[in-house]
Structure 1
Amino acid sequence: MYLKNRILYIIIFILVGASCSAQKLQLKILQFNIWQEGTIVPDGYNAIVDQICESGADFITLSEVRNYKDTRFCDRIVQSLKEKGHTFYSFLSYDTGLLSRYPIIDSTTVFPCIDDHGSVYRALIDMDGQEVALYTAHLDYLNCTYYDIRGYSGSSWKPRKPLTDMDSIMMNNVESKRDNGIQAFLEYANQDKSKGRIILLGGDFNEPSFLDWTKETMDLFDHNGLVVPWTVSTMLYANGYVDAYRELYPDPVTHPGFTYPMDNPLVEVKKLTWAPEADERERIDFIYYLPYKGLELKNVVIWGSDGSICRSERIKEHTLDAFHISGNNWPSDHKAVLATFSLKRK
C-alpha cells in the first residue's frame, strides 16, 4: 500500500510539474485609426485614451499620428495612459504609431512617410522573455482604386465613370505606394522570422482584401460584378501571413467586417463619407500575424460600433460580425479591430 501511494504521489508531481512548465500567456493587439489624433471629434483625444484603457490591449497600432503643434504624440499618450493607471512604452513616429505594455528593445523606421504616401514602423518588444516584432502600417491613401470602381476618383474623390476594366484597375492600384510599404515590411520582417520572433502587423491599409472581393460578394456593396486580387493582401498571403479577422470569420457575406466609414454620431454625415452616393463600406483596417509555434488566435472583434455610413445614410449593420459596442465617446471615422491570442510556452 505504501509503495502504491508513493508511485501515485510521484505521478501527480510529474503532471503538476508538466502543467507548470507549459504556461499560457494572453496577448491582445488593437488596430486603431485615431483620425488626426482625435482632433476632428469633440474631446476626441480623451476618447482615444478611454478606448485604449477599455480594450485591455497589450499592443496598439495607431494610424494618423501627426505630432501637432510640435508635440510628441507618443509622449502625450503614454503620460495620459499612466494617469489612468496603465504603463505603456512608445517612441517618436509620424503618420503611424505604436504602444506596448511591454518594454521596447529597439525601434525602426521601415518605410518613412514621404509626401503623405504612407509609413511603416517596427518595435522589437521583450514580452516576458519572448521577443515580439510589432509592426504598424498606415498605407498610401492615394490611387485608392476601390473608389474608382464605385464611380469616384480614388485620388480627388470627384465623381467619375466607374472603373471596371481589370487591367486598368490593377494598373491604377499599383500606382500608389501601398505595395512599396508592404514590400519593405516583408523584407524587414524576414530578419525577425529568421531570429524566431513573433511577428504582428496592424494597420489602416487604405485597400481592401482579395478575401472580401470574391464571387460571393461581386454583386454586393457596389463591387460592380468584380472579383479583384487586391495586391497588398495577396502579397501578405503569398508570404505566409494570416488575416486575423478572416481566419475566424472566412465568409465575407455573413461577416463583411466593415471598418470604414463608421457612423460616428458626434460628426455630421458629410464629414464621414468620401463617396456620398455610393456604398463605400470596406474592411481596410487589419491585423495580420505570421503563424508561430504555440501562438493561437482566440478571438477577434470589430471594436467601436455596429453603425456605418452607406449612401450618406446612417445605418446599422445586420450581419453576423462580432462587434464590441463601446459606451464611451468614439474619436474616429474608422472602427478599430481587436485580436486576442494565447501563447503557450515552456
Structure 2
Amino acid sequence: MDQQETVKIMTFNTWLGGEAVRDGINKIARAVELSGADIVGFQETPEPGRAVAEKLGWHYFQNKNGEANCSVISRFPIVEASYIDGMSAIMAHIQLPSGQVILVAVTHLYYDPYGPYWAMFDKRSVNDIVAMEHDARGGEMKRVLQELAPHLASGIPLFLMGDFNAPSHLDWGSDMEAQREGYAVRWPVSAMAEEAGLLDSYRAVHPDPVAMPGITWSPVHTPEHPWGDNPYEPQDRIDFIYYHGAGVRAVSSEVFVVGEPKGFGSHEDNEWPSDHAAVISSFDIA
C-alpha cells in the first residue's frame, strides 16, 4: 500500500472498570478523549468498552460472557473480532481510513505471584524468579503468541497490548543492576514477545531505561502507598504495546496519566481512574 497513515494506540488498565474512583466511567471516557488515541485496549473487566464507546460514538468489542476481561474501542470500524477461549485476550481486525486492515490484540496476564516482589522482598535467585514466571504467566503468553502466529507470518500490521503483570528484560539488564539491588533478569514474558518478532514500542522510541524508565506501576501504589502489606512498592513498567509488520514504525510513545493522582487510600476522587498509568504509542503504517 503506497499511502502512509499514522495511528495512535493506547493500552489502559481501568482498575476494576473504573469502580475504584467516583464517576469512573466518565473519567475513563475523558482520559481517552484527552489522550487523542484512535484505538484503546482496556483491561480489568470488559464493561468499560461498551459504555465508553457509546459516550464517544466509537466502535467496540467485548465478548458477551466476560471471560476475556478485556475490551477494545476504536474510532475506526472493527470488521472482525474474537476472544481466545479460556483466558483474558481478545483480537480485533480494524479498518483504517485508507482501507488498510490492522490486527489489534489485548491481553491481561495473571497477577500473582509478582516477580519484582520475589526479587526485592524475598531475595529469590534469578533462576527461581524465571521459573516462577514461566509457571505463572509463560503459558498464557505462549497461548497468545500461538494465536497470533499466523497473523505474524502474514505480515499484517499487528499490535499486542495490555497489562502483562511482569517487567521487561529491556529494563532489567546489567545497566540497571544498581537500581535493582544487583538483579539482572531476562523476564520470560517480554523475552517471548521479542523472540516472536514483536517490538516494544516504548523502548523502540526510548531505548535507555535509565533516562526514560517509563513507569506504569503505579501512580497510586507509590513507594509510600504500597500494595497490601508490602514495606514499599517497587515501581516498574508492566504495561506494553508491542508491534510487528514490515511497514510499521513506532514514531512516539509516552506514559499517560491525567492530573496528579493521590496515593492509595486517598484515591477515590482522583481524576485519573486507574492504579496503572496508560501507555500511548503512535505508529506510521505504510
TM-score by length of 2: 0.88
- Does residue 108 of the first structure (1) align with residue 82 of the second (2)? yes
**Cα RMSD for the two superposed structures:** 2.6
Distance 2:258 2:95 in 1: 33
CA deviations on 1:72-118 (whole Å, 9 max, x unpaired) are x4332221222xxxx233233441111122212221212533xxxxx
- Local SS of the residue matching 1:54: helix
Q: Is the CA contact 1:108–1:121 (under 8 Å) kept in the aligned structure 2?
A: yes
Partner of 2:169: 210
- For structure 2, the 5+ residue unaligned runs are none
Partner of 1:121: 90
Which of 44, 56, 59 is the equivalent residue of 1:88? 59
**Letter of the structure 2 residue corresponding to residue 62 of structure 1:** F
Q: Is the CA contact 2:159–2:242 (under 8 Å) kept in the aligned structure 1?
A: yes
Distance 1:264 1:140 in 2: 18
Which of 238, 250, 260 is the equivalent residue of 1:284? 238
Distance 1:47 1:33 in 2: 13
Instruction: Please say which structure displays the higher CA radius of gyration.
Output: 1
Distance 1:263 1:306 in 2: 12
Distance 1:186 1:148 in 2: 26
Partner of 2:135: 175
- Does residue 134 of the first structure (1) align with residue 104 of the second (2)? yes
- Local SS of the residue matching 1:225: coil
Give how far 1:276 is off: 4.0
Give how far 1:203 is off: 0.5
Partner of 2:72: 98
Distance 1:309 1:230 in 2: 30
- For structure 1, the 5+ residue unaligned runs are 1-20, 68-72, 114-118, 152-161, 315-327
Q: Is the CA contact 2:42–2:49 (under 8 Å) kept in the aligned structure 1?
A: no
With over 3 angstroms needed to count, the CA separation of the structure-2 counterparts of 1:97 and 1:127, relative to structure 1, is same
Give how far 1:307 is off: 6.6
- Does residue 199 of the first structure (1) align with residue 169 of the second (2)? no
Distance 2:116 2:238 in 1: 11
With over 3 angstroms needed to count, the CA separation of the structure-2 counterparts of 1:329 and 1:308, relative to structure 1, is closer
Give how far 1:261 is off: 1.3
- Local SS of the residue matching 2:210: coil
Distance 2:261 2:53 in 1: 30
- Local SS of the residue matching 1:219: helix
1:15-30 mapped onto 2 (5 Å cutoff): 22-30=2-10
CA deviations on 1:13-41 (whole Å, 9 max, x unpaired) are xxxxxxxx943211010010110011111
**Letter of the structure 1 residue corresponding to residue 90 of structure 2:** Y
1:1-346 mapped onto 2 (5 Å cutoff): 22-65=2-45, 67=47, 73-82=48-57, 87-92=58-63, 93=66, 94-113=68-87, 119-128=88-97, 129-151=99-121, 162-176=122-136, 178-220=137-179, 223-263=180-220, 270=225, 273-274=227-228, 276-293=230-247, 295-304=248-257, 329-344=271-286
Distance 2:233 2:13 in 1: 21
